[in-house]
Chains A and B, each alone.
Chain A
């Protein structure tokens, strides 16, 4: 009983951490531009796929990961530079449609440059499972949780302790005032896309040893991350993390105790419930500080 519950919990937290990283990306871009970037899932896919193909090209895993994050960041910056940022004065809805177009383009590009097959990565430090009260935890799960925690702490530090981080928040709160204190809001937008892409790619690299990826592998992860961001309150940093864990755990429990056939539906049921009872998400109280 307990062992079974723990097993579902571990797998929920692991996948939830990935959703949290994706959700943070959604929130950062949303804060900078009020755009919901539907290409966020493609950054996740690029992270995994690029690492796979860099390794196939002979790079060791750590170097392949770095190159993959760099490729995703370039994709993020290009999306801002050539698509979203070019359309000055366009409505937010137009910009969101542009990101949907970009996501289709990136998937197509990945299927051409790489291929249409499933790929996996070796676990970072072996597959010897750790036993805990009858349940097992893989070392890769620990990597996922550890890296997510470090990333979350770094982001918290950046947004609350550095002038540039505060400038990004200030731009989210009041773009005009941000410009008037000398913040280059265009640069903030670039930085947001770069940061969101890096977070997505890190998530993609971490999860590929657990769940194989392919050129369309970012679609579902993107939607789950989006659900997590909505559940936690779009634009809220802690909300994104808590939202990610909630969606991950709900999904694992639902799949374990109810039916795995509806696994993907649980996230969307959660969105509907949250939006019905708390329209601005768990943490989306107006007037609180948003990351």
Chain B
């Protein structure tokens, strides 16, 4: 087991956003997390990355208890996140954004990973000298994903990578995710686009107001009556 989250809780002041989350992710798996807006998906990813403190429970990564580790130590251990809203370093060049992605490795392997990222998203190579803030939304998403990959993560956390993108770009992003999975990266994919996410996922969890309410194989959730009604609009 690569990641094991046990009874995890997290608060924003008095508001409890996570109410005791249990979930596991095995090496090489693609696990999807779906849920409505405000369910706590982003909070869960933030807590796994360590940029949001846990108020209770435990996060085990690679058999280490990382619940109290600072975010930079978690990145060095192999947890990279593509945050909601992309969060690129807007005034810095595309290339600098990517180089900073390898910060946790002290820049090691930068040249080789740059090539891989440019092969996956050629538009980034064309725009490598341009400020990241001038890219389109889809290109920024590609950049945010590439930046996370520059760290050569063991576990990749993706927070709504398809949000706000045109359908053709959504397809491109999901194709890239499938490619990463095929290459062996373990992926935890958070999506409001439940159909697309569950279609490519090995397993899925459904989150409702800070609690996991369903857990099953991806294809099983796709035909689950409750999921169909609440998240697939069928």
Query: Does B bind A?
Result: yes
Contact code string A153-172 (vs B, CB < 8 Å = 1, else 0): 00000000001001101100
Tell whether A184 pairs with B70 under 8 Å between CB atoms, given A169-B92, A176-B87, A177-B89.
Answer: yes
Contact B72 A183 (CB under 8 A): yes
Tell which of A166, A177, A184 has the most Cβ of chain B within 10 Å: A177
Per-residue contact bits, chain B 83-115, to A (CB 8 Å; 1 contact, 0 not): 100011111100010011101101100000000
In the docked arrangement, what's the CA distance between A166 and B147, Å? 14
Q: Which residues of B contact A178 (CB under 8 A)?
A: 89, 100
Check A182 against B89 for contact (C-beta < 8 Å). no
Within the complex, the shortest CB–CB distance from A270 to chain B, in Å, comes to 26
Stretch in contact with the other chain, from A114-122, A131-139, A283-291: A283-291
Question: In the bound complex, do residue A166 and residue B87 qualify as a contact, i.e. CB atoms below 8 Å apart?
Answer: no
| Complex: A181 Cα to B79 Cα, angstroms | 9
Residues on the B chain within 8 Å of A290, using CB: 91
| A180 located at the interface, meaning its Cβ lies under 8 Å from any Cβ of chain B in the complex | yes
Q: Is A179 an interface residue (CB 8 A)?
A: yes
* Given A163-B106, A163-B107, A173-B90: A180 in contact with B83 (beta carbons within 8 A): yes
Q: Which residue of A lies closest to B96 (CB)?
A: A166
Q: Contacts A173-B90, A289-B92 known; A182 to B76 CB distance under 8 Å?
A: yes
Q: Is the CB of B104 within 8 A of A181?
A: yes
Instruction: Using known A-B contacts A163-B99, A167-B103, A174-B87, determine if residue A179 contacts B72 with beta carbons closer than 8 Å.
Output: yes
Q: How close is A186's CB to chain B, nearest CB, in angstroms? A: 8
Q: Report chain B residues within 8 Å CB of A163.
A: 99-100, 103, 106-107
The B-contacting residues of A in range 251-267, CB under 8 angstroms, are none
Total interface residues on A, using CB and 8 Å? 21
The CA of A183 and the CA of B151, in the complex, are separated in Å by 12
Given A166-B100, A176-B51; A182-B72 close (CB under 8 Å) = yes
By the criterion of a CB under 8 Å from any partner CB, how many residues of chain B are at the interface? 31
**Residues in chain A near residue B51, CB distance under 8 A:** 176, 179-180
Instruction: State which residues 59-91 of B face A: CB under 8 Å.
Output: 70-72, 75-76, 80-81, 83, 87-91
Residue of A nearest to B77 (CB): A182
- The complex places the Cα of A169 from the Cα of B70 at a distance, in Å, of 20
Neighbouring B residues of A186 by C-beta, 8 Å: 70
- A residues near B131, Cβ cutoff 8 Å: 287, 289
A243 to chain B, nearest CB (A): 19
A288/B91 in contact, CB under 8 A: yes
Q: Measured between alpha carbons, how far is A180 from B99 in the docked complex, in Å?
A: 14
B43 at the interface (CB under 8 A from A): no
What distance in Å separates the Cβ of A131 from its nearest Cβ neighbour in chain B? 46
Chain A residues within 8 Å of B91, by CB = 173, 287-290
The answer to whether residues A182 and B90 also contact, given A163-B106, A166-B96, A176-B83 and a CB cut-off of 8 A, is: no
Determine whether the beta carbon of A170 is less than 8 Å from that of B75. no
Q: Is B192 an interface residue (CB 8 A)?
A: no
Q: How far is the CB of B95 from chain A (nearest CB, A)?
A: 10
Q: In the assembled complex, which residues on chain A have CB atoms less than 8 Å from the CB atom of B88?
A: 174, 177
Question: Are B87 and A182 in touch, CB under 8 angstroms?
Answer: no
- Is the pair B83, A182 in contact by a Cβ cutoff of 8 Å? no
| Residues in chain A within 8 A of chain B (CB atoms) | 163, 166-167, 169-170, 173-174, 176-184, 186, 287-290
Report the 10 A-B pairs with minimum CB-CB distance, sorted nearest first.
A182-B104, A182-B75, A177-B87, A179-B71, A184-B72, A182-B72, A173-B89, A289-B91, A170-B89, A180-B81
Given contacts A177-B87, A182-B76, A184-B72, 5 further A-B contacts (CB under 8 A): A166-B99, A170-B92, A179-B51, A182-B72, A183-B72
What are 24 A-B contacts with C-beta separation under 8 Å?
A163-B103, A163-B106, A166-B99, A166-B100, A167-B100, A170-B92, A170-B96, A174-B87, A174-B88, A176-B83, A178-B100, A179-B71, A180-B49, A180-B51, A180-B71, A180-B80, A181-B75, A181-B103, A181-B147, A181-B148, A181-B150, A182-B72, A186-B70, A287-B90
Which B residues form the contact surface with A (CB < 8 A)? 49-51, 70-72, 75-76, 80-81, 83, 87-92, 96, 99-101, 103-104, 106-107, 131, 133, 147-148, 150-151
